[in-house]
């Protein structure tokens, strides 16, 4: 069966510091991968998606970037965090039209 | 108008009650529809897909109304464990598999 892992689960970072969130999927090959963010009291916002190694589509202009160095690995990064980057970051993989989420990474920027 | 819109609630219902949520979407060409359940501070989990003919899974029934561009979720015989936020999700742009747009969620609180 397919599983998806995200880490770290929780992190507190100062403004201006870098960020790296990692996501890996097991049990499937060439999945579509997604990064969503859920800010406090708001809905899920699609940030990036990838249909293959090195292929990244950005949905909204922002302070973040994504990379897919391996088939089942998806990384979300920032060089300098802003206060507005705080939120619950969710990686997901797609099977057909369905999405399945990892457990999420909760980021607080102070 | 938001692309996918839900009543945020909260819906406070007694155990055993029937409760229904609606979700409207903006693009009439949308093809795929889903309901997710999200517990507090957890990731959303797929509850059920919504098919044109409607579908039922135990106490849960999902329906699609293309003419009025909304989907619905009906929960019968509510349990305390049904308390959660229910998110609807729509693939607004056919051809972009799994690229879902989510509503902000409807919070359900089931009480004794």
pLDDT tens, A2-31?
899 999 999 999 999 999 999 999 999 899
Q: Which helix (H) or strand (E) holds A47?
A: strand A44-52
Amino acid A43: pLDDT: 86
Q: How far apart are CA B86 and CA B65, in angstroms?
A: 18
**pLDDT 10s digits, B93-104:** 776 657 899 999
Q: With pLDDT > 90 as the criterion, what percentage of chain A qualifies?
A: 83
Looking at beta carbons, which residues of chain A come within 8 Å of B4? 43
Q: How far apart are CA A36 and CA B37, in angstroms?
A: 16
Q: SS3 for B8?
A: coil
CA distance A61 to A37: 13
- Residues on chain A touching B7 (C-beta within 8 angstroms): none
pLDDT in tens, A29-79: 899 999 999 988 778 999 999 999 999 999 887 889 999 999 999 999 999
pLDDT at B96: 61
Residue B96, min C-alpha distance to chain A (Å): 9
Contact A110, A15 (CB under 8 A): yes
pLDDT confidence of residue A101: 97
Task: Report pLDDT for B31.
Answer: 86
- Which pLDDT score, from 0 to 100, does residue A1 have? 86
Residues of A with CB under 8 A from a CB of B: 32, 34, 36, 42-44, 46, 49, 88, 90, 92, 94-104, 106
User: Is B95 part of the contact surface with chain A (CB cutoff 8 Å)?
Assistant: no
CA distance B81 to chain A (A): 20
Contact between B46 and A99 using a beta-carbon 8 Å cutoff: yes
Nearest 10 degrees: Cα torsion B47, B52, B53, B55: 0
- Give the Cα separation of B23 and B104 in Å (integer): 10
Q: How far apart are CA A22 and CA A67, in angstroms?
A: 10
């Amino acid at each position: 069966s397919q599983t998806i892992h995200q880490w770290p689960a929780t992190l507190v970072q100062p403004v201006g510091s870098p960020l790296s969130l990692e996501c890996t999927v097991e049990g499937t090959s060439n999945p579509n991968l997604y990064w969503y963010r859920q800010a406090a009291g708001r809905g899920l916002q699609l940030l990036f998606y990838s249909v293959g190694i090195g292929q990244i589509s950005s949905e909204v202009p922002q302070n973040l970037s994504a990379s897919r160095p391996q088939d089942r690995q998806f990384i979300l990064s920032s060089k300098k965090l802003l206060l507005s980057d705080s939120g619950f970051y969710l990686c997901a993989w797609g099977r057909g039209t369905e999405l399945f989420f990892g457990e999420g990474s909760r980021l607080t920027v102070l | 108008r938001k692309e996918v819109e839900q009543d945020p609630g909260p819906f406070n219902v007694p155990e055993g009650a029937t409760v229904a949520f609606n979700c409207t979407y903006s693009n009439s060409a949308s093809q795929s529809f889903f309901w997710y359940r999200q517990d507090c501070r957890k990731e959303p989990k797929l509850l059920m897909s919504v098919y044109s003919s409607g579908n039922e899974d135990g106490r849960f029934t999902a329906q699609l109304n293309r003419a009025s561009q909304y989907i619905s979720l009906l929960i019968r015989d509510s349990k305390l464990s049904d308390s959660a936020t229910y998110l609807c999700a729509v693939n607004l742009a056919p051809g972009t598999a799994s690229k879902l747009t989510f509503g902000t969620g409807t919070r359900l609180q089931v009480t004794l």
